[in-house]
């Protein structure tokens, strides 16, 4: 495993760094990154940004809003939040196996006297309260796994900045975002800083190695990362995006995530379609959306179209029949 040190706090840069490393540093089988963002909301790849945030609050408090490569839900980051990234070419790990990639965090916390558990589809909890969400992106036999840990985050800001849908709250069986989450620091027997915790996790990841092997980003690397940041992660088009007016909307929550479908149908023909949600999946959802354009909005024709699409790949854990219920 290789470690890439990064002390930048800009979410636009850090997400561009992740993608650049994933796409270009193929000479390494496993890569590990640790990073901390300034106040930001990180949106899941398939989410409708406006529906996930308290826009007035976000603007008033100068909170960044940036979309990531992976699916899943929106999360709040600040200087009290520690993020980790594992990029792997190990074929056995190329699946939405969140628990395996979360194991190092659980092990480090155990050393600190904290019992953490993996629960649900992608959460880590302490005494039933979430402190870490995980997400993954897969492409060409590689997986990018990242987790966002609440170490000493301002939970009041988190609760005000994220506009979480009511059905998600109810599916967790609790009343509010604030009651669902906790900071790691609140459960420690001794007070250590986030930097101390960062070093403990880093040491644990490489404890089977003689030394922490590092790759130092070159000047060319930085040029390419900054270019990607400017052209993608720092743009309104990527982070918010535009949507046509829709006249049919459907929404369903499944065990593996929520799927929201918006269609624009004219004279019985699908002119536009968008899939939103906190679901996970491989590939580009745009490739699925393109297949629907020009198809008649009829149950038999949509069912026939779904037969040509690998639904489980694009919408992990969701069947064709379940997908059908999101369309008709």
The larger pLDDT score, comparing residue 60 to residue 95, is at 60
Residue owning tokens 């002119």: 271
Rounded average pLDDT over 288-316: 94
Q: With cut-offs at 50, 70 and 90, classify the pLDDT of residue 101.
A: confident
% of residues, the chain, pLDDT over 70 = 92
Rounded average pLDDT over 50-63: 92
The sign of the torsion formed by the CA atoms of 134, 170, 312, 276 equals: negative
The larger pLDDT score, comparing residue 19 to residue 208, is at 19
Whether pLDDT at 175 is above 50: no
pLDDT of residue 169: 52
List where CATH 3.30.390.50 sits in the chain.
248-324
Taking the C-alpha atoms of residue 87 and residue 33, their distance in angstroms, rounded to an integer, is 9
CATH tag for 248-324 (out of 3.40.50.2300, 3.30.390.50, 3.30.2320.80, 3.40.50.970): 3.30.390.50
pLDDT of residue 171: 60
Which of 178-187, 194-203, 231-240, 269-278 has the least mean pLDDT?
178-187
Rounded average pLDDT over 203-207: 91
Whether pLDDT at 98 is above 80: no
pLDDT of residue 263: 93
Q: What is the tens place of the pLDDT at every residue in 209-232?
A: 778 999 999 999 999 999 999 999
Whether pLDDT at 324 is above 90: yes
Architecture, CATH, for domain 2-237: 2-Layer Sandwich (3.30)
Strand partners, 251: 260
List where CATH 3.30.930.10 sits in the chain.
2-237
Q: Are 119 and 127 in contact (CB under 8 A)?
A: no
Q: With cut-offs at 50, 70 and 90, classify the pLDDT of residue 23.
A: very high
């Amino acid at each position: 495993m290789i470690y890439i040190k990064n002390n930048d706090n800009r979410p636009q840069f850090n997400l561009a760094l992740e993608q650049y490393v994933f796409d270009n540093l193929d000479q390494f089988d496993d890569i590990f990154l640790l990073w901390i963002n300034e106040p930001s909301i990180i949106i899941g790849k398939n989410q409708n940004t406006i529906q996930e945030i308290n826009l007035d609050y976000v603007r008033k408090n100068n909170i960044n809003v940036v979309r990531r490569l992976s699916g899943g839900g929106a999360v709040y980051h600040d200087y009290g939040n520690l993020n980790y990234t594992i990029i792997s070419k190990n074929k056995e790990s190329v699946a939405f196996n969140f628990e395996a990639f979360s194991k190092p965090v659980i092990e480090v916390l155990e050393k600190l006297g904290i019992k953490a558990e993996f629960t649900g589809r992608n959460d880590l909890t302490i005494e039933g309260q979430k402190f870490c969400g995980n997400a993954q992106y897969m492409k060409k036999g590689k997986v990018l796994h990242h987790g966002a840990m609440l170490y000493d985050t301002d939970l009041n800001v988190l609760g005000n900045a994220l506009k979480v849908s009511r059905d998600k709250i109810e599916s967790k069986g609790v009343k509010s975002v604030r009651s669902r989450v906790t900071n790691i620091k609140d459960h420690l027997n001794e007070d250590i800083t986030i930097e101390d915790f960062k070093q403990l996790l880093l040491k644990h990841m490489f404890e089977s190695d003689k030394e922490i092997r590092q790759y130092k980003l070159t000047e060319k690397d930085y040029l390419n990362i900054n270019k990607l940041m400017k052209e993608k992660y720092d743009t309104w088009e990527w982070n918010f995006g535009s949507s046509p007016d829709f006249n049919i909307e459907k929404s369903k929550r499944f065990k593996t995530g929520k799927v929201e479908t918006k269609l624009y149908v004219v004279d019985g023909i699908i002119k536009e379609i968008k899939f939103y949600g906190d679901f996970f999946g491989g590939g580009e959802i745009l490739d699925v959306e393109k297949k629907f354009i020009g198809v008649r909005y009829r149950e038999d024709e949509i069912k026939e179209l779904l037969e040509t699409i690998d639904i489980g790949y694009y919408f992990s854990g969701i069947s064709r029949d379940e997908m059908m219920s999101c369309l008709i």
